[in-house]
Structure 1
Amino acid sequence: MAQKKKITGTRRASSKRSSSVAAAPIVEMVEELPLSTFTEKAYLDYSMYVILDRALPHIGDGLKPVQRRIIYAMSELGLSAVSKHKKSARTVGDVLGKFHPHGDSACYEAMVLMAQPFTYRYTLVDGQGNWGSQDDPKSFAAMRYTESRLAKFSKTLLQELGQGTVEFTPNFDGTLTEPSLLPSRLPHILLNSTTGIAVGMATDIPSHNLTEIGRACIHLLDKPKATLDDILQYIEGPDFASSAEIISSPEDIRSMYETGHGSLRARAIYEVEGSDIIVTALPYQVSGSKILEQIAQHMNAKKLPMVEDLRDESDHENPTRLVITPRSNRVDTDSLMQHLFATTDLERTYRVNMNMIGLNGRPQVKSLVSILSEWLTFRVETVRKRLQWRLSKVEKRLHLLEGLMIAYLNIDEVIAIIRNNEEPKPVLMERFGISDEQAEAILELKLRHLAQLEEMKIRGEQDALEKERDKLQSILGSERRMKTLVKNELQEDIDTYGDERRSPIVQRDPAQAISEADLIPSEPVTVVLSERGWVRAGKGLELDPLALNYKAGDSFQSAARGRSNRNAMFLDSTGRVYCVPAHGFPSARGLGEPISGRLKPPDGAKFLSVIMGDDDDRYLFSSTAGYGFVARLGDLFSRNKAGKSILSLPAGAAVLPAAAVSSLVDDKVCAISNTGSLLSFPVGELPEMAKGKGNKIYNIPGPKFKTGEESMLALVVVAPTQKLRITSGKRHTVIKFRELEEYTGVRGQRGRKLPRGFQKVDAVEVES
């Protein structure tokens, strides 16, 4: 598919011509391109524009184009650090109208970031009014309300601007010129944090301490072959505009500087005052209101039972003061804060990707040593241009002073030539052998200035300029002297703008969150399961499940008593066990919720019983085929919503509800068949397994089980303090523990018949 480029039309015949003359067609030929080629070129052009002219900073001055234009526009408006503030709208208007034809809100936001001391390590704009707060950086006032001027530190970017140090290029409409770079006296690319997203690449450069970076540059000037380890003797690591600790290991920091990418971890600082925990410093770009919101969410979700109260006591004297009140003095403060570090933004990880536009005009991720080396190349070249510009000015002035001295020594003759000639310049040039510039300087002198042309003054200025010329030439001619000058200027800026490190670097282990089970309060709870699989929980162990209301057509199935910080385990009709935390069930006052909504049971599966207890508690699992085994609850645990297969079923067999085992020595297994037989034997005769079919408990002949004539109806475990209650129709019988001796036999045999009238058993219960 190609774009249509041929346009045809007709030209009307002249009115002076005959109407019979046919209209001549107009054919305009335009280049035709395949759509794929056109779109590829357009996308690549757009990508390069975003990369080079919007999103990535330049290594020379460390600024993006919009930041550079804001700083330059403010300097052109005369908004120096000692001038009066002006409305920010004035600056934004100049930037948009002269240099940066884009959105005013984006331009103003870029300006705001350069004025926020909690965003920029060394601010470039001095703001007056509401420029946002650390708690809410986006809360700044509109540009029509705020006022601004350049900060003192911006002098390091503009001080050498008019001294031939950088090239000026036409602006977007060609009516003005703007600097392609600013002649930065410091490696600004590392001093203030920079983030940006381009097409196919991004940048995240952390801020650093000016003193450390400056000293590293001085060392690199002395020893150009210095290694990364040599540089790291001066640079400890990044230095954010925040007092929070940087807790990354030295190995991680070194790897970040070596490769140009990696990550950093910062952690809030806290102290203990009485029973309260006071957070005094937050990680970079983390707001206190967000921290309080996160902690409050955990408290509402009952995941922080050890915290009683939260307060924000921040003010002008204490910009960050968050108060966390534990529930009691027994709460481990360090453990609580470790949990908060792991679950909130009190500890934060920052991505580092030192991607920037180099001196070759190409984006590249650079290591620390290459950044400093390349910037020093830029700085030395900038100083060289500045000195050459000054040298040309000095030589030009000396040349003019030489002509003025000739004029002073021959003042009467010069006046006569000017009075007697219509074009005195050629005559002066020929008479005294001076140049065109010298003759022009003589002719531009006013009469009242002739008295000032004293020989001593001219010679004094000549001597000073000749000394300056010789000094400039000696510096330009010596690489060593050039480096010495750059070092001296770096040291001067360190003395002027340097400060102490804000972000201490302390190596700490990663924070560990407290397990959910430890956070949940341990309270007695009763979990109730209905016949149709609806589950609910009530506080306390005295809850009577039979007294609860159930949905129409539903009834009680099973109940388990335990603690709210444990898991409830559900056994279904396929022999699978599912684990669900007990604290999340709806209240027993309602009808509950279907447990299948939290799990993924097989189609047609029915939940038979609910189990609760400690990991070492044991339960007996069995099937109607007469097989079973004892299992520890700890071996049944699974986080899988599809459950864990525990009991293997023979063909035609069904799962029986699990029975609790209190003692492997004293308890007895009671197996009752549907034909009214009872077999009792010690629990210890059954194996302890994690899963499987189990051993034979009750001997049911194969043909009878296959035809459904006989099967194991129920299997319970009776402790010495309990008794067995068997119901058949309206009749029931109670068998005490000592009376079970009559039905005791060998595991795997057939039991003895129950009394007359209980050949058909309807229900079996264990009573205390």
Structure 2
Amino acid sequence: MSSGMDLNLNLEGIEQMPLKTFTEKAYLDYSMYVILDRALPFIGDGLKPVQRRIIYAMSELGLSAGSKHKKSARTVGDVLGKFHPHGDSACYEAMVLMAQSFSYRYPLVDGQGNWGSPDDPKSFAAMRYTEARLTPYAQVLLSELGKGTVDWNPNFDGTLKEPAMLPARLPNLLLNGTTGIAVGMATDVPPHNLREVASACIRLLESPKSTLEELLEHIKGPDYPTDAEIITPREELLKVYQTGGGSIRMRARYEREQGDVVITSLPHQVSGAKILEQIAQQMQAKKLPMVEDLRDESDHENPTRLVIVPRSNRVDVKRLMSHLFATTDLERTYRVNMNVIGLDGRPQVKILLEMLKEWITFRFDTVRRRLEHRLGKVRDRLHLLDGLLIAFLNLDEVIRIIRTEDEPKAILMQRFDLTELQADYVLDTKLRQLARLEEMKIRAEQDELASEQEWLEKTLGSKQRMTTLIRKEIEEDAAKYGDERRSPIVAREAAEALAETDLTPSEPVTVILSEKGWARAAKGHDIDPTSLSYKAGDGYLDCAYLRSNQAAVFIDSTGRSYSVQAHTLPSARSQGEPLTGRLSPVSGATFGVVLGGDPDQWYLVASDAGYGFLVQLKELYAKNKAGKALLTLPKGAKVLHPVPVTDREKDKVVAITNEGRMLSFPITELPALSRGKGNKIIGIPSKRVELREEFVIAVASVPEGGRLTAHSGKRFITLKESDLEHYQGERGRRGSKLPRGFQRVERVEIER
């Protein structure tokens, strides 16, 4: 059956509803509770309920800034027992946060004892050990509390009243900021400088139509409780305040002292110990070779003093710090999401202009209520004084009535036309107040109160007077509690992590490639690679001389190039490792060439079909294991070992075929490509290449004034620059025959 309350009740009177409806309603109720009564702040006082209850409970305990400290457990006990029936640890943590000068821009709690440190904010002592009282700044929230300024709600058990909000004299939400995670939403409001925000409020009071850009002439940006720099560009800050969301970047500040780098301030909520750990990890991993030592010299006089000792004076400190900013918490990004509970009681992401306008509306309402409350008190007091003065002027008659009448109150009311309140006040007056000077005191108080009443009525009746009053109070509070900006806003270049090659020590190494495709790196350039030990059935094939922070380039039999950082290759003390375990060549491909050195070095790359082109070494670097296509091979052709080019304008190309034909021409006739087949160097019929009847034995780049030596067995022939003119011809021709006995050239050497 259905009751008048629209509940589905069974015969026993028990309410019934579908599980889906019940769980949905229960979850939504819980969600709204978390959003409105736990995680998000109210725009008026900038506090969450637990913070508001802590501040109010401390004021009720008499823990003002001028009082003695009391045990934190006393405060937490009062908060839990009277207003906030939740966990004591969560309540105490909220109290600790409001006491930490490195967490709160303008702390509300003045703590005595161990309240944590910037290195470990959670290292605070238990509440039975610490003591606390309110800070002077807390009066911004509490000074008008008992003046009829706010609504009062019953506490959780209905035995006490608690304020629904605190009558903040300044926009505390923007000053201290807040963070919180609710259900389906979160908030992150950064702290700001009191003087800047007060200045913006005054601007908005004077010019209600001020734009956001005009307000930002006063509010330069967030102001965290740390001296680290805010490096977010101005246009990004403007966007944050225009949308109510975005991010703020902070960067540590450092100085140079006798060659050392001294970090003097860290971003908000960043631990110095964590920074040292992050840098030390890079040093242990040998990813920071330019740093020799790391010290923490922080003390009471210098709360943050981290010393980084560069390895030498040649270290580029600016580049080193840029790397550390990019790879450690020395630079940190903070989320901004100005999601707050507005005056309408609804959570909403608000832009800066909306937040300030709503707070000014809240302030107008608070001041109006305060003045109306005071006006009521003044009127009540004047009413009582009027009755007292009548009684004083007719003192003998009043005394006679009190002495002789059984019901003096009624007689007094009738005889002197007094109200019940006035009659009660006259009857409650002490005899000592019947002195001769009392009339003068009463009239003086009446004059003073009448003057105050007139001022209150004029102020309440004029918006301009209200505006002037609010402005004056904001200016007074700004002068009393304001301070200089702590977080400077500075334009800086974006941090950039150093490349792996920049972090690797630059030492000469020789990379050796074996016939079976095994690679290793030996220290120095004076190694004889043929004297090293190789696996059975394996032997020396090729080597390259480079530095440990450079990449070794390998070319396989299909014409693909691959690159491997030299310092990652195993030592020459071992027999190396197979490149196939590190790279992914196509099936059947074998490695035949290794190159290395200056990335800008030009090479002549060619196939034994007689085609080739010029390319810089850096074009051969590959980003992945599969390598990159470099040389396109005609059918039946093979890759020749690339040869270095001394001068792209003056060198001569020399090509020799297995039939003893040689052709020479200027290297300028070959194109510079990053990949491809290239242009014809010497003319060989493609059919003969396919059948391996004729192919190029060697190509060379002979510099101006250089000599070429061709070896055939034990015989050799050396050709000077003038001798090469006999073999000079147009690129792509068949070339001229070498002398008898050099029909089978095995290798060529170039003397530069």
Give the TM-score category using the shorter length: 0.7 to 0.9
SS of structure 1 residue aligned to 2:561? strand
Are the aligned partners of 2:708 and 2:719 in contact in 1 as well (CA < 8 Å)?
no
Q: 1:177–1:533: structure 2 CA closer, same or farther, 3 Å change rule?
A: farther
Which residue is 2:599 aligned to? 615
- 1:70 maps to what in 2? 54
Q: Equivalent residue for 1:344?
A: 328
Partner in structure 1 of residue 283 of structure 2: 299
1:180 matched residue in structure 2: 164
* Residue 735 (structure 1) aligned to one of 699, 710, 716: 716
Match of 1:230 in 2: 214
Structure 1 residues 297 and 753: alpha-carbon distance in aligned structure 2, compared to 1, 3 A threshold: same
Match of 2:173 among 177, 183, 189: 189
Amino acid aligned to 1:687:
L
Q: Distance in 2 between matches of 1:681 and 1:755?
A: 16
TM-score by length of 1: 0.85
Letter in 1 for 2:241: Y
CA distance in 1, matches of 2:736, 2:30: 88
Residue 97 of structure 2 is aligned to residue 113 of structure 1 = yes
- The residue correspondences of 1:9-48 to structure 2 (distance < 5 A) are 28=13, 30-33=15-18, 35=20, 38-48=22-32
CA distance in 2, matches of 1:255, 1:187: 21
Matches within 5 A, 1:75-86: 75-86=59-70
Q: Report the CA distance between 1:598 and its aligned residue.
A: 4.4
SS at match of 2:220: coil
Query: Shift of residue 154 of structure 1?
Result: 0.5
Match of residue 458, structure 2, among 466, 474, 488: 474
The residue number in structure 2 matching 1:569 is 553
Cα drift, residue 411 of structure 1: 4.9
* 1:604 to partner: Cα distance: 4.5
In the alignment, what sits opposite 2:670? 687
Closer, same or farther in 2 for the Cα pair 1:7/1:259, shift >3 Å? closer
For 1:412-423, list aligned pairs within 5 A. 414=398
Does residue 89 of structure 2 align to residue 122 of structure 1?
no
- Alpha-carbon distance in structure 2 between the residues aligned to 1:437 and 1:671: 126
Decide whether aligned partners of structure 1 residues 452 and 595 sit closer, same or farther in structure 2, where only a CA change above 3 A counts. Answer: farther
Q: Distance in 2 between matches of 1:597 and 1:381?
A: 75
Equivalent runs, 1:745-760 vs 2, <5 Å: 749=734
* Cα drift, residue 525 of structure 1: 0.9
> Whole-Å Cα distance in 2 between the matches of residues 659 and 80 of structure 1?
85
Q: Which amino acid is the alignment partner of residue 315 of structure 1?
A: D
Aligned equivalents of 1:605 and 1:453: distance in 2?
118
Q: Secondary structure at the match of 1:59?
A: coil
2:249 corresponds to: 265
- The 2-side partners of 1:7 and 1:544 are apart by 97
Query: Structure 2 CA distance, aligned partners of 1:6 and 1:464?
Result: 65
Change (3 A) 1:239 1:671: same
Residue 356 of structure 1 aligns to a residue whose secondary structure is strand
Q: Distance in 2 between matches of 1:530 and 1:441?
A: 113
- Structure-2 change in CA distance of 1:113 and 1:604 (3 Å): farther
Match of 1:364 in 2: 348
Distance 1:59 1:605, change over 3 A: farther
1:168 aligns with 2:149: no
> Does the 8 Å CA contact 2:508/2:524 hold for their aligned counterparts?
yes
* Cα deviation, residue 151, structure 1: 1.0
Deviations 1:489-525 (A, max 9, x none): 1121122112222222333333455554444433211
**CA–CA distance in 1 between the matches of 2:411 and 2:208?**
57
| 1:623/1:47 CA distance change after superposition, 3 Å | farther
Counterpart check, 1:438 vs 2:417:
no
The CA distance in 1 between the partners of 2:36 and 2:251, in whole Å, is: 34
Using the TM superposition, name which of 349-358 and 330-339 deviates more.
330-339
Q: CA RMSD in A?
A: 3.7
SS at match of 1:467: helix
| Equivalent pair of 2:606/2:631 in contact (CA under 8 Å) | yes
| Cα distance in 1 for residues equivalent to 2:558 and 2:90 | 62
Do the aligned partners of 1:314 and 1:322 also contact (CA within 8 Å) in 2?
A: yes
Q: CA deviation at 1:292?
A: 2.8
Q: What 5-or-longer segments of structure 2 have no aligned partner?
A: 1-6
Where 2:369 maps in the other structure, the secondary structure is helix
Measured against aligned partners, the alpha-carbon deviations of 1:402-445 in whole angstroms (never above 9, x if no partner) come to: 33334444555555655666655444434443223233334445
Superposed CA offset, 1:592-637 (max 9, x none): 4444454444444433322113234233444465544443223333
Q: 1:153 to 1:694 in 2, by over 3 A?
A: same
1:59 CA drift (Å) = 1.3
Amino acid across the alignment from 1:67:
Q
Equivalent residue number for residue 395 of structure 1: 379
How far does the alpha carbon of each residue in 1:548-607 deviate from its partner, in whole angstroms, 9 at most, with x for none? 344566544432111223221121233211223323323222344444454444444433
- Percent identity, please: 59
User: Is the contact between residue 280 and residue 320 of structure 1 (CA under 8 Å) also seen in structure 2?
Assistant: yes
CA distance in 1, matches of 2:617, 2:175: 59
**2-structure distance, mates of 1:95, 1:473:** 39
Residue 504 of structure 1 aligns to a residue whose secondary structure is coil
Which residue of 1 is the match for residue 4 of structure 2? none
For 1:215, which of 185, 189, 199 is the aligned residue?
199
1:735 maps to a residue whose letter is: F
Q: Distance in 1 between matches of 2:635 and 2:645?
A: 27
Secondary structure in 1 matching 2:50: helix
Shift of 1:125: 0.8
Shift of 1:156: 0.7
**CA deviation string 1:265-301 (max 9, x = no partner):** 3333333233223222223223323333333344344
| Structure 1 unaligned spans of 5+ | 9-25, 727-731
Going from structure 1 to structure 2, the CA distance change for 1:457 and 1:666 (only over 3 Å counts) comes to closer
Q: CA deviation at 1:259?
A: 3.2
**Contact 1:661-1:667 within 8 A present in 2 as well:** no
Q: Deviations over 1:212-239 (max 9, x none)?
A: 2222222322222223343333333322
Which of the residues 107, 114, 136 maps onto 2:120?
136
Q: What is the alpha-carbon distance in structure 1 between the residues aligned to residue 37 and residue 586 of structure 2?
A: 59
Decide whether aligned partners of structure 1 residues 226 and 756 sit closer, same or farther in structure 2, where only a CA change above 3 A counts: closer
Between Structure 1 and Structure 2, how many residues are aligned? Answer: 735
User: Structure 2 vs 1, CA of residues 734 and 169 (structure 1 numbering), >3 Å: closer, same or farther?
Assistant: farther
Q: 1:483 aligns with which of 455, 460, 467?
A: 467
Structure 2 vs 1, CA of residues 104 and 605 (structure 1 numbering), >3 Å: closer, same or farther? farther
> Structure 1's 523 and 680: CA in aligned 2 closer, same or farther, altered over 3 A?
farther
1:81 is paired with a residue of what secondary structure? Answer: coil
1:109 is paired with a residue of what secondary structure? Answer: helix
Kept in 2, the 8 Å contact 1:408–1:453? The answer is no
Distance in structure 1 (CA, Å) of the matches to 2:748 and 2:256: 57
